[in-house]
């Protein structure tokens, strides 16, 4: 089956710093989403981005589907950005049964 | 409702018992998904409904797990003869249709003693 990798597995930042999270996947996909899982376990949608670039405030994401990777950029990080960031991909021609990556655990220190 | 809701939020049961977990999707969403998340891991796909039918149940771990969506809206995940290894957070998601963004509920934390 499809493999989804995320890097780095853990990241510690000082408040105000910028970061880039990466998601690599092993097969062609027709759906890709980035989520933030908060300390209470809720998965919060960040981006639906099977291809191209999107921006939302301090966050932006880019997916290069032909090269099978996606990047999530966090600028001017805040303590509330702490949590786990997941990349999830939907398999081409297999509907939308997502495969999640292992996540990047982000800790933003005040 | 405004988002996906799941009940109960927490469920504690004893090994061997039967449990039902409920998911109310976003109104108008035809696609519904169940996932399971173990501690420290990403969610894992269990089953996908398009309307009333299970379009893909390849993620169900064994025949103790079963899910229904009889009217194409609310779904129930049923687990028979629960085992301690079934302890996890069970997440439900819905989307407008097959190729659209998925939205997740808060999950049900199942603990099997």
Q: What 3-state class would DSSP assign to B110?
A: strand
Share of chain A above pLDDT 70, in %: 95
| Beta strands B53-56; A99-100: pairing state | unpaired
Chosen from B53, B96, B102, B107 to mutate, greatest number of chain A CBs within 10 A? B102
For chain B, the helix, strand and coil percentages under 3-state DSSP, each to the nearest 5: 5, 50, 50
Beta strands in chain B (DSSP E): 5-7, 10-13, 19-24, 31-37, 44-50, 53-56, 65-68, 75-79, 88-95, 103-104, 108-112
From B43's Cα to the closest Cα of chain A, the distance in A is: 6
Q: Which pLDDT score, from 0 to 100, does residue A94 have?
A: 53
Cβ-Cβ contacts under 8 Å, A97 against chain B: 33, 45, 48, 56, 58-59
pLDDT in tens, A24-35: 999 888 889 999
- Single out the residue of A2, A1, A29, A49 nearest to residue A92, CA to CA: A29
- DSSP per-residue letters across A13-74: EETT--EEEEEEESS-EEEEEEEEE-TT--EEEEEE-SSEEEEETTEEEEEEGGGTEEEEEE
CB distance from B58 to chain A under 8 Å? yes
pLDDT in tens, A65-105: 999 999 999 999 999 999 999 999 987 655 556 899 999 99
CB distance from B106 to chain A under 8 Å? yes
Please work out, in degrees rounded to the nearest 5, the angle formed at the alpha carbon of residue B107 by the alpha carbons of B25 and A87.
Answer: 90
Q: Do B102 and A99 touch (CB under 8 A)?
A: no
Q: Do B56 and A43 touch (CB under 8 A)?
A: no
Averaged pLDDT, B44-71: 93
Q: Which residue of B has its CA nearest to A42?
A: B106
| DSSP 8-state class, residue B109 | E
Distance from chain centroid for Cα B95: 14
Cβ-Cβ contacts under 8 Å, A96 against chain B: 31, 33, 48, 95, 98-100, 102
Share of chain B above pLDDT 70, in %: 99
Taking 80 as the threshold, does the pLDDT of residue A108 lie above it? Answer: yes
CB pairs under 8 A between A and B: 64
Say which residue the tokens 């001017």 belong to: A76
């Amino acid at each position: 089956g499809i493999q989804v990798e995320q890097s780095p597995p853990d990241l510690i930042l000082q408040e105000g710093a910028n970061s880039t999270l990466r998601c690599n996947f092993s097969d062609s996909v027709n759906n890709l989403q980035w989520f933030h899982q908060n300390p209470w376990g809720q998965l919060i949608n960040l981006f639906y981005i099977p291809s191209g670039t999107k921006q939302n405030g301090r966050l932006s994401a880019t997916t290069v589907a032909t090269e099978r990777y996606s990047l999530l950029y966090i600028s001017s990080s805040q303590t509330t950005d702490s949590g786990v960031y997941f990349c999830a991909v939907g398999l081409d021609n297999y509907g939308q049964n997502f495969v999640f990556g292992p996540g990047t655990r982000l800790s933003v220190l005040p | 409702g405004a988002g996906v809701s799941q009940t109960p939020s927490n469920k504690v049961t004893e090994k061997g018992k039967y449990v039902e977990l409920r998911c109310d999707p976003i109104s108008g969403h035809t696609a519904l998904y169940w996932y399971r998340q173990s501690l420290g891991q990403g969610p894992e796909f269990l089953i996908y409904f398009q309307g009333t039918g299970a379009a893909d149940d390849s993620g169900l771990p064994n025949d103790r797990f079963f899910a229904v969506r009889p009217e194409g809206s609310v779904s129930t995940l049923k687990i028979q003869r629960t085992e301690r290894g079934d302890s996890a957070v069970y997440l439900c998601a819905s989307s407008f249709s097959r190729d659209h963004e998925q939205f997740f509920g808060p999950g049900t934390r199942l603990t099997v003693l």
